[in-house]
């Protein structure tokens, strides 16, 4: 995605890209891109560098130049330039019209897939992080919150306020398991903000987030449910077989965690809709495109003991990593059947399914123990 314009101003909305059903499975398309071009754009060095420095003092100019799949917009004070793109906004900054050096708002980083995942009329989670501007490059900076205090968030559509709320910052703790892997890396996601909202109709929305004396802004796009491939909250969860120790279903490595997790004894098909709630996590710690898969799987393991009534299932993304010697660039690598059935275009993703088989929540990308614990408690309430 290109960086924002050098001279911010009013920019017309881009027309939404027509829906192409053949592109519904974004992971499959990522594999096709790898086979054709020899690389995975989601694993570009720029993408990984950006993820590892989400809350560091990263120059806005370097951030915009290097970000491969995440865009954001920030504004300071009350001055705002309208710039919207089909999925997420592109970052730009404006100085407050007070004269002298003004504070620069932080950049908002969307922590959800750039695929079509936000849907109108359904409750959903819209997580984000904020990146501090580099004072050497951008002038005076705004101090980011250093505690779990909440940020005031306003959601607007066509200039009208549809939601005003406060979102508490959360911290992901991650303890490494087993011998250190020199190639192991993951985002230093010091603090993230899981906004919850029901967007009433399709179109472009603006998120305005108050940070200190500035306002940071992010443009997002909401789609009709017919355009969203991933299972939606409120719908019956699809009955899918997930690989188990006894029936691996063609998957040669059930768990790529250094010490395999305990969530591969039952298949989702044998428990969904039977009266027992299910927490199903799609994540691949060894091959994750965002590097969050390991930390969230560890979090799920840590929290699972306090919820004995919930059935926990972990699904790896790829079917045959051992067959291709762990080389995801190999043209012979395949998605696991369960991931194809869920039509996922991203990972990690946690599906929370009620006892009657209804999907009651989906938590994408990153979560801490507090957020997960609250969600699991609500699942069995």
- Alpha-carbon dihedral 66, 170, 342, 26, rounded to 10 degrees: -10
pLDDT in tens, 265-311: 999 999 999 999 999 999 999 888 777 889 999 999 999 999 999 99
How far, CA to CA in Å, does 201 sit from each of 82, 107, 118, 205, 210? 19, 26, 11, 10, 24
Buried-exposed string 51-71: b where 16+ CB fall within 10 A, e elsewhere: bebbbeebbbeebbebbbbbb
Q: State pTM to two decimals.
A: 0.74
> What confidence tens digit (pLDDT) does each residue in 48-63 have?
344 334 333 333 332 2
Which are the contacts of 66, defined by CB distance < 8 A and separation ≥ 6?
46, 49, 50
Candidates 86, 96, 84, 77; CA nearest to 5 is: 84
Tokens encoding 145 = 């919150």
Mind listing the pLDDT tens digit of every residue in the chain (381 residues)? 333 322 222 222 223 334 444 444 556 555 565 555 554 544 444 433 443 343 333 333 322 222 323 333 222 222 222 222 223 343 333 333 344 456 788 889 999 988 899 999 999 999 999 888 766 655 566 778 877 789 999 999 999 999 999 999 988 765 544 444 444 444 444 689 999 999 999 999 999 999 988 999 999 999 999 999 999 999 999 999 999 999 998 999 999 999 999 999 999 999 999 999 999 999 999 888 777 889 999 999 999 999 999 999 999 999 999 999 988 788 998 999 999 999 998 889 999 999 999 999 999 999 999 999 999 999 987
Q: What is the pLDDT of residue 353?
A: 98
3-state helix, strand, coil in the chain (%, to 5): 20, 25, 55
**Rounded Cα gap, residues 182 and 326, in angstroms:** 16
Question: Which domains, and CATH codes, for the chain?
Answer: 38-225 (2.60.40.1930), 268-380 (3.40.30.10)
């Amino acid at each position: 995605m290109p960086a924002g314009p050098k001279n911010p101003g009013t920019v017309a909305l881009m027309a939404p890209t027509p829906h192409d059903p053949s592109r519904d499975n974004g992971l499959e398309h990522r594999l096709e891109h790898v086979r054709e071009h020899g690389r995975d754009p989601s694993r570009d060095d720029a993408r990984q560098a950006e993820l590892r420095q989400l809350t560091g003092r990263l120059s806005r100019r370097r951030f915009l130049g290097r970000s491969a799949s995440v865009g954001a917009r920030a504004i300071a004070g009350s001055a705002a330039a309208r710039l919207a793109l089909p999925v997420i906004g592109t970052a730009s900054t404006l100085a407050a019209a007070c004269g002298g050096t003004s504070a620069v708002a932080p950049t908002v980083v969307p922590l959800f897939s750039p695929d079509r995942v936000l849907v109108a009329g359904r409750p959903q989670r819209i997580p984000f992080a904020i990146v501090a501007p580099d004072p050497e490059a951008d002038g005076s900076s705004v101090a980011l919150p250093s505690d779990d205090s909440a940020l005031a968030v306003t959601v607007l559509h066509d200039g009208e306020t549809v939601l005003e709320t406060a979102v508490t910052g959360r911290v992901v703790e991650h303890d490494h398991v087993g011998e250190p892997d020199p190639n192991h890396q993951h985002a230093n996601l010091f603090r993230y903000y899981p906004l919850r909202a029901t967007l009433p109709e399709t179109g472009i929305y603006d998120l305005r987030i108050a940070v200190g004396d500035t306002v940071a802004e992010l443009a997002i796009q909401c789609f009709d449910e017919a355009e969203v491939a991933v299972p939606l909250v409120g719908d019956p969860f699809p009955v899918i077989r997930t690989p188990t120790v006894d029936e691996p279903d063609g998957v040669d490595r059930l768990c790529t965690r250094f010490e395999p997790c305990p969530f591969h004894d039952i298949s989702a098909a044998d428990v969904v809709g039977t009266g027992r709630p299910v927490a199903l996590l799609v994540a691949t710690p060894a091959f994750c495109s965002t590097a969050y898969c390991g930390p969230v799987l560890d979090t799920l393991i840590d929290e699972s003991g306090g919820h004995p009534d919930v059935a926990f299932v972990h699904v790896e993304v790829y079917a045959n990593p051992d067959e291709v010697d762990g080389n995801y660039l190999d043209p012979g690598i395949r998605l696991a059947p369960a991931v194809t059935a869920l039509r996922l275009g991203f990972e990690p993703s946690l599906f929370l399914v009620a006892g009657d088989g209804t999907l009651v929540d989906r938590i994408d990308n990153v979560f801490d123990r507090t957020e997960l614990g609250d969600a699991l408690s609500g699942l069995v309430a």
